[in-house]
Amino acid sequence: MSCVFCKIVRGELPAHKVYEDAETVAFLDIHPMTEGHTLVIPKLHAERLADLPPELAGKLFQTVQRVAGRITQALEAPALNIGVNDGRAAGQAVPHLHVHIIPRFPGDGGGSIHSILYKPQKRPLEEIHRLIADTL
Ligand code: 5GP
Ligand code: ZN
């Protein structure tokens, strides 16, 4: 398997790991957007969130919560952006599911998740709601 994050899991590539358990691992991003930018991944290779066995989704988010708390304390970060680029069109470059934890500081010049894209809505909310809610 040539997946870089699988190689980090197996210890074949070095990484600054900050947390590890049986199912998940967290390590510093090699090109941090801010100090402490960390990635949390499942050890099992899954390209996207939809590919992750559902029983691991909760476990992954538990690790996100734990590591986020540790980063907040260690770096005295007053805020965090936590998110996933889920699929290439969303900007995913590494095809192994990973949750970004990005510490944020007042005046750091960054935006919120709303700054990813602004596209005026075309179809009415009711139509979109029907499309999505009906599949739940
Ligand atoms: P994506 O755009 O796929 O959501 O983000 C991938 C992230 O993985 C990027 O922020 C990038 O800096 C990070 N990354 C890519 N390759 C490596 C690596 O080999 N080691 C580490 N620690 N981070 C990596
Ligand atoms: Zn992988």
Please, which residues bridge with residue 20 across strands? Answer: 25
Question: What pLDDT is recorded for position 86?
Answer: 98
H/E stretch holding 31 reads none
Total domain count, the chain: 1
Question: What pLDDT is recorded for position 133?
Answer: 94
Q: Active site includes 98? A: yes
Q: How, if at all, do strands 38-42 and 17-20 pair?
A: unpaired
Q: Report the distance separating Cα 26 and Cα 59, nearest Å.
A: 13
What does the pLDDT look like over 63-113, one tens digit per residue? 999 999 999 999 999 999 999 999 999 999 999 999 999 999 999 999 999
Q: Report the distance separating Cα 97 and Cα 39, nearest Å.
A: 10
Look up the CATH number of the domain holding residue 102: 3.30.428.10
What does the pLDDT look like over 10-53, one tens digit per residue? 999 999 999 999 999 999 999 999 999 999 999 999 999 999 99
Check pocket membership of 30 for ligand 1, CB cut-off 6 A: yes
Residue 94 Cα: closest atom of ligand 1: 3
Domain with 66, as residue range(s), is 4-133
- End-to-end alpha carbon distance in the chain: 34
Check pocket membership of 4 for ligand 1, CB cut-off 6 A: yes
Question: What pLDDT is recorded for position 48?
Answer: 98
Query: For residue 69, how far is its CA from the centre of ligand 1 (angstroms)?
Result: 21
pTM of the shown model:
0.96
